[in-house]
Structures are given as structure tokens and as C-alpha cells.
Amino acid sequence: MKHMNLTRRSFMQITTSAAGGLMVGIHFPSIARATGEGAAAEINAWLTIDPDNIVSIVTPQTEMGQGAFTAVPMMVAEELDIPWENVRHVYASANRHVNNGNLYTTTSTGGSTTVSRRHPYMMQAGASARERLRVAAANRWQVPVDKVTAKQGWLTTEHEEQGTIQGTYGEFAAEAAAVTLDEEPAIKAYGDWWLLGRDIPRLDVPLKTNGTATYPIDVSVPGMVHAAAMACPVPEGRLVSYDFDAVKDMPGVIAAVELEQVKDVPAFTDLRSGVAIVADSWYQAQNALAVMPIVWDYGRGASISTESQMAEAMQLISQPGALVLNEDGNVGRRLDRGVNHDAAHGIIEASANQVIGEVYYRPFETHATMMPPCAVADVTDDRVDVWTFTQDIARSLNEVADQLGRDTENVFLNQTYLGGGFGGGYNMDVHRQAAAISAAVGRPVKVIRSREEDVAQDSQRPPVWGTYKAALGEDGLPEALVTHFVGDEKFPAFSQRGVANMPYLVPSRRHEYSAVQNHIPIGYHRAPGANSTGFIVEQMVDELAQAGGWDPLEWRIKMTEGNEPWQRVLLAMKEKSGWTTDMGRGEGMGIGVVESHGTVAGCVATVAISRRGQIFIDKLDFYINSGYVINPLGAREQAESSAIWELSHAMFGGLVIRDGRIVNTNFDSYQMMKMPDTPPEIEVHLEMSEDQWWGGLGEPTGPPTPPAVANAIYYATGKRIRSTPLAKAEL
Amino acid sequence: MSITLNINGQDHSIDVDPQMPLLWAIRETVGLTGTKFGCGIAQCGNCTVIVDGNAVRSCNTPVAAAAGKTIRTIEGVSENNDHPVQQAWQEITVPQCGYCQSGQIMSAVALLEKSPDPTDNEIDKAMAGNICRCGTYPRIRAAIHRAAELSKT
């Protein structure tokens, strides 16, 4: 990290990206907010210290199970040097953030970035507070600041006359808050850590074993009423009319509120055309909504189905697609052996050793967070309070202000725990619904989406189709490779990531892309691109290896020569996993390795196939190179979690579209992995490179898992499964 | 219609539609929000409570069917968050987002009361109705075995 100069009330700029491009400004706000007797003193916007030496550390990111509420305080506490038992975590104020020039830089919580990308300024906040405490003690004790140590919550000096003098951080907090530093300290390097790198149980665990953790659905405001809302079941469609008279006398029903869509085609976070019923209880509102006659104009999507998109994709994939290039004019960022994309088709056509791939397919998947989207809004004349399902409290605050035409200063987005996020908390209009309904009825309101409405209206992960053709050289390795992937028109990146920039170096390489028509909303998901493309690329690799007479693991090692992060993972797999392609009839091992979110994750899957063709996954063995790991316990939890998340889709998932609408909208028809389906053995190896860096850990084990399983099924049965759900394959 | 529910040893007289699902009576009328809504069709187990010793999905149990029975929710598992299941859940850091965990814990408590040292097969069977989108299943399994151990001592 760059050394920096900083004074209080100034902006500081930190170089955060390895590429040196992104500059992040942080504003340390005016301080000394509360310095009275017995009050906690705010040293900077990130932390307050009370007289008992309890430190409250602010977390701008949301907690959805991934551990932000532990990781952020850990990073600040590492630098502050305070015993972990003295640390409390507190929610950041979205209002303060938004109205003070994005005080916490960002409140966005996604892309596995909270630690990997945010650590420089979070650690800086702790270091800055620690140095101010030292200066405050030096001033009071009349000693040079370099004679004062700050360690484990104590400030200490060896005084020439008085001997050892000590005081707690809490005793000096108010004075520290008023200190101006000439220069900010640099943050600690790996190796100097006392807290980071240890297994720290997440702070929110106990609240989640007795039902006291509060989610938006648990919030209650005096005078609150309940609403059930419905948008057009065919996305992009519009409400024409509804007959409230037919339901207004049903028990508890108070009102119907039309939800007005402003734009012809709403952005993903705009309010969509629909209608809500308000009642004394949600049960009553939902019952009335379910029977109220509603007329919709379904729009252009009504003719789209899973079959129509499949037919369109198969047509597109049989023709050349558009060439995908990165900023350097290459396919991907690692093709430094030369790209030669114009020649790839010709080399393959002229080759005597062609490999022509079949078409692979991943269908739509949905978030289905365990808490269905929910928001509470209390809209009054001079103040708006909102609690909602969001992965970015500032973004949601701005959306509510926009919905109501209010000044952001009077809008308060109150943070709660989230019942899962997985990207679903970005493209969400449930708080706009709550705000609009509360404004309309003049009372606080809670909106809960039924599961069916959640799945019907969610921003989905789009389908991806992919195929390839290659020419093999005399050594059996590809000398030319053309991949062609088809995705949806809204989010091309989700069918390019992980394939356009794959790490396997082929001398002549071309990636092509086509898009099907799609009206279904698309949004961020847990590793949305890499999960779909990884399934295809990592089976393609096994097919290419086999065609060239290579062991699939040796092929990957050879094809990533010189790529240290990959070599570390692949060589660890070779050394520790007991890898073999020959386990005997009905059993198989398979591998998948995918780089995403700055982390290389490999999976070795061991499966057994019953005589009836049922798949049993006996073991998943992970090799993960994310560089630094600040909390190995949290890393293992996330590795298990993202693997099971994606395996659930690959084994059982897949949304079905008929007449433009999603038809499998609840867990009876959109199935999930459950306890009996869970592999009995999951091992996680954290393989850290010598040349360390900061990779993310909330997502990367998902992408390699399904292809590892599918490859294992191939070695067990000789059958290659090119689409999901795997559990429906004929074996 | 007035219905009396005995929840965690306490009687609550409530005036609701007898067909209202027990879940909403517990959450909205009685105000115990630890029990969660997930699907409304008894497919996810988020709403699991224990009625007369059995794990029951409260989202499709009419409130009238629970009248006169003994209902236990997550709030009634222990006073101090120290039931062996809760201790094991904390020790093995089971919860992630935590939303499904009230239901998971109620299913586990009901299982252990019937089968104090369950096999993996029994765990599979008893827990098969509870979905966890964070995929904490391996830790839930380990924690149920650990809770069985803690209960013995």
C-alpha cells in the first residue's frame, strides 16, 4: 500500500487495486461528537471507545451469513490493538454515509469484496485511532509519542521520574478524538498480525441460536399494517385493472394500492407495475390478493418459454457468434502466448485432429433466500424509516428517497440481519413497494413477498449454452480452440466470465458470444458467471484431455505452466487427493478448477452411482488459493456454503418458463439440496501462495463443484452429462 | 373466535380466524418472531415448532388445530441460550444467515428427545424437511451428534 499523508477532515486516497487504477477517497468526519463525562467517544466514523474500554466498531456492509459483522471489526481491531472480548459491532448509519459524501466509501456487499477489496481503509481506520490514542497519552503524560505503546487496550510509558504509567484506551478516548495527526500510519503487513489469521467464531452466532437475531420480517412499528403485493407474473407486463370491490369485505382488508411503474421497461430496481392489498395481518392481505380479479397486459414476454429460448439458442450456436475481446484486443487477459483469434477457425478446419464439442446448458436459477423479500416502511411528513432486504443500505436509501421524492437527509435505512443475500439484495424493489404503500395509506406497513411472488419477480441468474471446437497438435494439446457461448441479452458477462479469460493457454484462441431474447429480470448471484461457465469449461477440458491422451489433472498442470496460483492448487490436488481416473465400476473421481473473485478454487469430487442410476456424492475435497485468509474458520464456512449452494442448483435446480412466466415458484417444484443429499465428507484445504494477495472467499468454491461431480460421473459410468439438473440425467 | 394457545408454558387467548396458520398467530398475534416464514406450503421447515412433542410445520397448521396442545418455539428452548442443541450449534458455528436455524433447532430438539443418540440415517430422516440455503447441513449434522454428547454429561 502507498504511504499517505492525511489530516483530520481531509480526504485521503488509497491505491487499492493491484492494477493501480482505482482510487478510493475516505473522509474522516468531524470528530469529538460526544466527549462528556461517562460517554463513549467517537475517535473516527468507524469506532467509538467507551470509558470501560469497550470498543464499538461500525460495519458498513450487511451481514447475510458471510461474516462481514465479524471480519470488519477484526480488521479494525487488528490495528487498534484491543482484546477481541472488548469489541462490539454496530451497524453503520446509511443516512450518515449518504449525507456525508459516502463516509464509509461503500456500503455495497457483494462480489466477495468485503475483505479482499476493503481491507486497506478499514485497517487504516483502526491504525489511525490507535495513533491518536498514543498522541493523547503522550500529551497528558508530557512524554514523546514514541515512548508510548498502545497494546491490547492499554497505553503505557516508562516515565523517567514516575516509572511505568498506564491507562486504558477508554481513559484517553475523548482526548484522542481531538488529536490531529501530521501523518497517518501505514497499515501492518502480513506476519505482524496478532488477531487476523486466527479462527474467530462469528459474533452473530449466539443471536442465531435463540431466535433473537432481527431480520426485516421481524420488525414491528406501532400502528403497522401488513401488505401483500403482486407484480405482473410475466415480467415487463403491466397492470390493466383490478376489482377491489370483490375482496374489500374480506376479513381484515383495509385497502388496495396500485403500484405505479414510471418507465416503460423498468430498471431492475424500479418499482414494477402491480397492486397490493393492505390488511390487519399478512395472512389476510395475501388471502384477499390471491382471489382479487386482476387484468394484466402481459407484454412481449408472453410468447417466451424455456423451449423457445432453447430453440433460439441452438440456432444461434450453430452459426458464428460475435468475437469477444478484452481491452488489449485479446481473448481474455492471460493469453500471452499469442492470441491469433482470426486464425483459429481456419486452423481447426484444416486440422486432421479435430475435437468438435457438443452443446452444454445451464438453465435459469433463482436466489430463493430463506427470508422472502420483505420491507417495512414508516413514511411520515418529515421522516421516513425503512427496514429492508438489501445488500447495499445506501443504494436502497437513495431508491426510497427517489420513490417518495424526499431529501435523503430525512430518509433512514435501518440495518438488520439478512436471511440470505447471494446477490438478491441488489436488484430489489420491495422497499419501493413498502414506501409507496405506506405513503398511500398513511400508516407504517410491512410488505412480505409470498415465496411464489419472490421467485416470479426475482432477478434471476440467466441460462447459458456453450460449445467448442479445437484442433489438437502432435503432443495432444490444443493448438487452436474456439468457444461459442450463448447467454441472455441483458448480462453478456455472465456467459463470458471464466471462459473468455480462462487460464489455459492455447496458441490460437477465439471466444464468441450470442444472446437469446429474454424478458426475465437478471441480477447478481453468487458467482453468477463462473458457476455457469465453469460447468462447461471444466468438462470441455476433460474432453480435450481425453481426446489428446492426457490425464485431466496433468493436462491442467501442463496448460497453466508458469501460473503460480493455479500450479499451487493443482499440485496440492495431485499430492493430497488420491486422484485417479480408475476407481472401478460405478465409482469415480472428477476434478474442476475455476478462478473467480481473485481466488483459484479446485474441487475433487468422489461419487458412487447406484444400479438404478442414483448419484451419491461421497466426498468433496477443496483446494483453495485466495492468498491471505484473515479468519480460516470463516473461510471454511464459506467454502462449504458456496459449494453446497451451487451443487443444489446443479443437482436439483433449474427454473422453467412457460407463457413468459416462471412456473416452478416454490420448493415443491424448484427443489433444493437437503440434509440427505449432502455429501457426508467435505474437506477444505487452504493453499496460500508465497506471493500473497487478497482474494475473495464468499463464492469461489461454487463454480468448480458441479463440473467435478459431472466429471466424476463420467469416470464412474462413461456417460457425460452436459446439462443440469444432474439428478434428472439418465444413468 | 377466541382460541387459547399454550406456548412455551404460557397461555395466550387470541381472537383470530381459526383457519389462520399457527405461524402467523405465533408471529403476528402473540409476537414471538423467532419462528420464521419461508414457503407457506410446509416445504422448507423454517416455521418448525414442537407441538405435543412432534416437530410440526406451523405455516400450514390451522391455529384451531393447535388449541389445547403444548406448543414450543425457539424462544422456549432454554432461558439462557444453553440447551445442548444451542451449545452445540454455537460450538460448531452452524448458523450463517441464521434465518432457517430456528426451524433446524426445533427439528433437532424434537429428534433428540425421541432418539438421544441418533444415527446419520435418523438425522437425514428427521432433518429432511428443513432447507438451509447457506448449506450449513454438514455443520448441522456434526452439531446434532455433539448435542447428543453434551446431553449425556
Residue by residue, DSSP assigns A258-284 as EE---SSS--TTSPPSEEEEEESSHHH
| Facing residue for A678 by CB, picked from B40, B41, B138 | B138
Q: What's the rounded Cα separation, in Å, for the pair A600 and A704?
A: 10
Q: Could you tell me which chain B residue has the CA closest to the CA of A215?
A: B99
Instruction: Say if CB A210 and CB B78 are below 8 A apart.
Output: yes
* B73: chain A residues, CB-CB within 8 Å: 211
Q: Do B141 and A675 touch (CB under 8 A)?
A: yes
CB nearest B134 (choices: A220, A284, A420) = A420
- Burial (CB count within 10 angstroms: exposed 0-12, middle 13-18, buried 19+), residue A314: middle
Whole-number Å distance between alpha carbons of A550 and A94: 55
Picking from A208, A214, A644, the nearest residue to B95 by CB comes out as A208
CATH of domain A11-206: 3.30.365.10
With CA atoms as reference, the chain A residue closest to B23 would be A283
d(C-alpha A678, C-alpha B141), whole Å = 10
Which residue among B36, B41, B81 sits closest to A666, beta carbon to beta carbon? Answer: B41
What span, in angstroms and rounded, lies between the C-alpha atoms of A327 and A343? 20
Interhelix angle B137-152/B101-114, nearest 10 degrees: 40
Among the partner residues A226, A640, A666, nearest to B135 by beta-carbon distance:
A640
3-state secondary structure chain B: CEEEEEECCEEEEEECCCCCEHHHHHHHHHCCCCCCCCCCCCCCCCCEEEECCEEEEHHHCEHHHHCCCEEECHHHCCCCCCCHHHHHHHHCCCCCCCCCHHHHHHHHHHHHHHCCCCCHHHHHHHHCCCCCCCCCHHHHHHHHHHHHHHHHC
CATH code for the domain defined by A307-364+461-728:
3.30.365.10
From first CA to last CA, the distance across chain A in angstroms is 53
pLDDT at residue A29, rounded to an integer: 32
- Chain-chain contact of A210 with B74 (C-beta, under 8 angstroms): yes
Q: How far is CA A572 from the centre of its chain?
A: 27
Domains of chain B in sequence order: 2-76 (3.10.20.30), 84-152 (1.10.150.120)
The answer to whether A283 contacts B134, with C-beta atoms less than 8 Å apart, is: no
pLDDT of residue A265: 78
Residue A642 cell numbers, joined: 458456496
Q: What are the cell numbers at A340?
A: 491469433
User: In terms of CA atoms, which chain B residue is nearest residue A62?
Assistant: B97
Inter-chain touch A220–B31, beta carbons under 8 Å: yes
Among B21, B99, B139, select the one facing A420 at the smallest CB separation.
B99
Determine whether the interchain pair B33/A218 forms a contact, defined as Cβ–Cβ distance below 8 Å. yes
Burial A328-354 (b: 16+ CB within 10 A, else e): eebbbebbeeebbbebbbebbeebeee
Q: Which conformational region is residue A316 in: left (phi greater than 0), alpha (psi within -120 to 50 degrees), or beta?
A: alpha
Across the range B93-116, mean pLDDT stands at: 98
Give the Cα separation of A527 and A111 in Å (integer).
8
Q: Which CATH architecture has domain A216-300+373-448?
A: 2-Layer Sandwich (3.30)
B16, B29 in Cβ contact below 8 A? Answer: yes
Question: Using the beta-carbon criterion (under 8 Å), do B134 and A371 form an inter-chain contact?
Answer: no
Q: Name chain B contacts of A283, Cβ cutoff 8 Å.
A: 17, 20-21, 24, 28
Distant-in-sequence, close-in-space partners of B70: CB < 8 Å, separation ≥ 6: B6, B51, B52, B53
Which pLDDT value is given to residue A217? Answer: 98
**Tens digit of each residue's pLDDT (9 = 90 or more) over B2-21:** 999 999 999 999 999 999 99
A603-619 pLDDT, tens digit each: 999 999 999 999 999 99
E strands in A173-261: 225-231, 238-242, 253-259
Q: With CB atoms and an 8 Å threshold, state whether B40 touches A215.
A: no
The pLDDT score that the predictor gives to residue A611 is 93
Q: Is omega for the bond preceding A725 within 30 degrees of 0, making it cis?
A: yes
Strands A238-242 and A294-297: antiparallel
B95 to A210: CB separation less than 8 angstroms, yes or no = no
SS3 assignment, position A514: strand
Cα–Cα separations (whole angstroms), residue A325 to A404, A491, A690, B136: 42, 16, 31, 39
* pLDDT tens for each residue of A26-84: 333 333 333 445 678 898 999 999 999 999 999 999 999 999 999 999 999 999 999 99
Q: How far is CA A332 from the centre of its chain?
A: 23
pLDDT tens column, A388-408? 999 999 999 999 999 999 999
Q: Which of A567, A596, A563 is nearest to A696 (CA)?
A: A596
The interface predicted TM-score of the complex, written ipTM, equals: 0.98
DSSP helix/strand/coil, A543: helix
Taking CB atoms and an 8 Å cut-off, how many pairs form between chains A and B? 174
Residues of B with Cβ-Cβ distance to A390 under 8 angstroms: none
Type of residue at B117: D
| Per-run averaged pLDDT (10 residues), chain A, 731 residues | 31 27 28 50 92 95 94 96 95 95 93 89 95 97 97 95 94 94 92 95 96 97 98 96 98 97 84 97 97 97 97 97 76 55 93 98 98 98 97 97 97 96 94 98 98 97 97 97 94 86 89 94 93 97 98 97 94 97 92 95 98 96 95 97 98 98 98 97 91 88 98 97 96 90
For residue B64, give the amino acid letter.
Answer: A
The predicted pLDDT at position A1 comes to 30
All cell numbers assigned to A451: 415465496
List Cβ neighbours of B45 (8 Å cut-off, separation of 6 or more): B38, B57, B100, B103, B104, B107, B129, B130, B131
Which of A503, A513, A525, A494 shows the shortest CA–CA distance to A424? A525
Cell numbers at A387, concatenated: 427496514
pLDDT, position A38: 62
Q: Which three cell numbers stand for residue B91?
A: 460450538
Q: Is B131 close to A682, i.e. CB distance below 8 A?
A: no
Mutate to test the interface with B, among A203, A208, A226, A638 (most CBs of B within 10 A): A208
* A686 contact partners, CB below 8 Å, separation of at least 6: A624, A626, A629, A632, A635, A636
Confidence (pTM) = 0.94
Distance in angstroms (rounded) separating the CA atoms of residues A490 and A528: 13
Cα–Cα distance, A73 to A18 (Å, whole number): 24
For chain A, residues classed under CATH 3.30.365.10 are 11-206, 216-300+373-448, 307-364+461-728
Which positions ≥6 away from A68 have C-beta within 8 Å?
A: A59, A61, A62, A109, A114
